[in-house]
Amino acid sequence: MKILPIVAGALVFAACSGSQTRPDGVPLGSQPDAGVAAPVVKEPTPAPPASAASRAPEPQKPSEPPLMPDQPFRNGRPEPVQRAAKFDAPVPIERKLKNGARVLIVPNHSVPLVAVEVRLLHGVDAVPIAKAGLAELVADAVLEGTRKRSAEQLARDIEDIAAHLTSSAGNESTAVHLNCLSERLPKGLDILADVVTQPAFRPADVERVRTLRLARLLQKQANIGQLAADEARRLMYGADHPLGQPDSGTPAIVQKIQRREIAAQHKAWWVPNDSVIAVAGDVDPDEAMKLLERAFASWRPRPMPELELPPPRPAGKRFISLVEKPSATQSQVWVVGPLFPARDPDAVPLEIANNVLGGVFTSRLNLNLREKHGYSYGVFSALQLGRLSGNFRAQGGIIAKSTVPAAAEYEKEIAAFASGDMTEDELRRARDTYIRTLPSQLETSDAVASAMANLVVLGRPLDYYKTLPDRAQALTREQVVDVVKKWVKPESWPVVIVGPVGDARAELEKLGFGPVEKAAVPP
């Protein structure tokens, strides 16, 4: 297979911190809650910046006649042409299986492919903190054999029909995602249902899953972005909350999780009455229902355990949480703060506003940290909104020696943003980007299936994407600014720094962000 490893791009993609990363550092995708297994759009991490410290030579005038005469029609950006097409975002057809599973279908016959995502509506949230990493192990282990298929047979059956089958656990849901040629859908669904409902968890397969997961946890130690993400989780949820635990647990815990615990977790939470199945692509809805009923006939509803989730306990004060990492040549600087669940009406205005601060390449944070100061390879900010809670984070990789001044620039930008400083033109731009990039986010069947499943996880209406452009368009600057002022509170938001800080710690103390505290990183 071609991998084209030898491509150098103008903007280099880096793993979203907190996402799963292959040992070689290639991002595999973000958390299921943001669209599992789909080739979702990742934050661009731009190429490294100019070194501000170097002395720039005097500007030179071009020394020779231009290649082309000037042509006045080239002055200024051209007017758009008329295109009738308005984006008609998908609204799924809703059905229900006899076993109670909700089914959402978006037919699209343009390419002979179908994506099917079974989404269980719990994930890491349903794991006690002493078992952190269990949800991810269950997601790994279901792909390693079923009662009627050995691990080897299962792999062969999937590859024989050229399907992709992936599984992963997120904060509040777990996804098993199938992509196959539409002509192989019956077989594909047979395999998908087998994996979801009849995993065998044979001891040898469980041990392999454990070994591979431990290898990834080991490699994670070299990834300062993932370490920053873990610390951010702890600061936003508290050490006694399931979502406050390190992503995929710790080696000490994963080492000890029993096979029977994996089976029990699956039995308790992988139930049709707490799931949604999203289908997108080249399939007829009635045909899809017939195939799904047949494939999932043996999946019976079961009563679920009571889940008593403690409320998140965000740090609630400004300080610097430091993870010293002497071997790194960069540092990660993050600012994190608690927000609200995805259903909150403030979500759309704040997402739009975030495009002004750090949502895109030409947002303020990146223009300042990368373009103006050359401290960073790219600084971005994002909202992560879940079913029950949500957070803000600004994050970036910083050239180690610039860590302290970079942190000061984050503060400057976020404070100005929090005060409501935003022009009409900035808002227009932020809103245009928000509305006009939507089609590309829903381009593939994989992306549509994951997005539809996500609507259910987050409690959003099924016409969410269809109405989104109009809702975004209707917002005034005052409304947007009010929402920013209501929620963006850097004076009580902690800063996470992971890197080779060393002696610069004293300088950090002088920034006025409160005390510098050594993070309590679990083993």
Partner 1 sequence: MQRTLLAFVILAAGAARAADPEIQFEKHVLGNGLTVILSEDHRLPQVAVDIWYHVGAANELAGRSGFAHLFEHMGFSGSRHVQPSSWKIFEDIGSRAGAMVNGTTNFDRTNFFEVVPGAELPTALWVEADRLGYLLDTLDEVKLKVQRDVVSNEKRQSYENRPYGMADLKICDVVFPKPHPYYGCVIGDIAEIQAASVDDVRNFFRKYYGPNNAILAIVGDFDTPQALELVKKYFADIPRGPDTQVTDIAQPQLSSVVKERFEDKLAELPRYVLVWNGVKQYAPEEAAGDVLAYILGSGKTSRLYRSLVVDKKIASSVSADDNTFALGGWIEITATATKDHTVAEMQPSVQAVIDDVRRRGVTAAEVERAKANIVATKVRSFERIGGFGGKADLLANYQTYLGDPGWFPKDLARYRAVTPDEVKAFAEKHLVDDRRLELDVAPARSAK
**Contact range with partner 1 by CB under 8 A, out of 53-61, 193-201, 470-478, 486-494:** 53-61
* Stretch 314-373 residues interacting with partner 1 (CB under 8 A): 325-330, 360-362
Q: Where are the alpha helices (DSSP H) in 283-396?
A: 285-295, 347-354, 364-366
SS3 label, residue 1: coil
CB nearer to partner 1: give 255 or 298.
255
- Contact flag: residue 3 with partner 1 (CB under 8 A): yes
* Stretch 71-100 residues interacting with partner 1 (CB under 8 A): 71, 73-83, 85-87
Instruction: State CA 415 to chain mean position distance.
Output: 25
Report the distance separating Cα 232 and Cα 230, nearest Å. 5
Instruction: Using CB under 8 A, count the residues that bind partner 1.
Output: 108
**Nearby residues of 256 by Cβ (< 8 Å), 6 or more positions away:** none
* Stretch 118-157 residues interacting with partner 1 (CB under 8 A): 151-152, 155-156
- Contact flag: residue 290 with partner 1 (CB under 8 A): no
- Contact flag: residue 25 with partner 1 (CB under 8 A): yes
Identity (one letter) of the amino acid at 291? L
- Contact flag: residue 502 with partner 1 (CB under 8 A): no
67, 203, 303, 306: which one contacts partner 1 (CB under 8 A)? 67
* Nearest to 139, CA basis, from 124, 153, 160, 156: 124
CB nearer to partner 1: give 27 or 390.
27
* Nearest to 373, CA basis, from 334, 407, 331: 407
- Dmax over CA atoms of the chain, in Å, equals 79
**Residue window 176-205: x/- pattern of binding to partner 1, with contact defined by CB under 8 A:** ---x-xxx----------------------
23, 310, 311, 316: which one contacts partner 1 (CB under 8 A)? 23
CB nearer to partner 1: give 207 or 286.
207
**Nearby residues of 38 by Cβ (< 8 Å), 6 or more positions away:** 29, 115, 177, 444, 446, 447, 449, 450, 451
C-beta of 279: minimal distance to partner 1 in Å?
16
* Stretch 202-221 residues interacting with partner 1 (CB under 8 A): 208, 211-212, 214-216, 218-219, 221
* Stretch 474-493 residues interacting with partner 1 (CB under 8 A): none
Bridge pairing between strands 93-96 and 320-324: unpaired
CB nearer to partner 1: give 41 or 481.
41
* Stretch 434-463 residues interacting with partner 1 (CB under 8 A): 435-437, 439-440, 443-446
CB nearer to partner 1: give 77 or 510.
77
CB nearer to partner 1: give 236 or 480.
480
Q: In b/e form, how buried is each residue of 59-96, taking b as 16+ CB within 10 angstroms? A: eeeeeeeeeeeeeeeeeeeeeeeeeeeeeebbbbbebe
